[in-house]
A = this chain, B = another copy of it.
Amino acid sequence: MLVKRTYTQEELTALLQRHGINPTAQRLEIARLLFARAEHVSAEDVFMLVNTAATPVSKATVYNTLGLFAERGLIREVIADPNKVFYDPNTAPHYHFYDVATGQLTDIDAEGVQITGLPSLPEGARMEGVDVIVRLRQSDRPTH
């Protein structure tokens, strides 16, 4: 279970380095923000969040950094919405509720969830991960 908290600059630096990422100012800033919120954010979200702070970061760098973080396993991509990729600072195995109306993603703890009976993988294939997305729609009639 990922705990929402603030990391010191040293912890963030070590975190990036542990993943083979050169800890630049922009990358540290984006990492700080990702792990402070511990929520599912889009590139646009990150771009806006990072630019409420003092130092501006370009959109290109936001995309490059999120891509780099995902590639190095610091965060993971969640493909649930056809319009944008979500980035998830929680890389532990877990699943998602997706509210198709609002676009809200919510974690489902892997603890207790069992998926059995999956067929064996095609020849020569390695499993990268299993995504489970439970699509939800809020009932039209609100509880009164």
Q: Which residues of A pack against B, CB within 8 Å?
A: 77, 79-82, 85, 95, 97, 99-100, 106, 108-109, 112-119, 121-139, 142-143
The quantity of this chain's copies bound in the complex is 2
How far, in Å, is A107 (CB) from chain B's closest CB? 10
Q: 3 closest Cβ contacts across the A-B interface?
A: A112-B117, A128-B135, A125-B136
A108 contacts which chain B residues (CB < 8 A)? 118-119
Report Cα–Cα, A119/B114, bound state, in Å.
12
Q: A114-B114, A122-B106 are in contact. Are A134 and B127 (CB under 8 A)?
A: yes
Nearest B residue to A123 by beta-carbon distance? B143
Nearest B residue to A99 by beta-carbon distance? B125
How far, in Å, is A85 (CB) from chain B's closest CB? 5
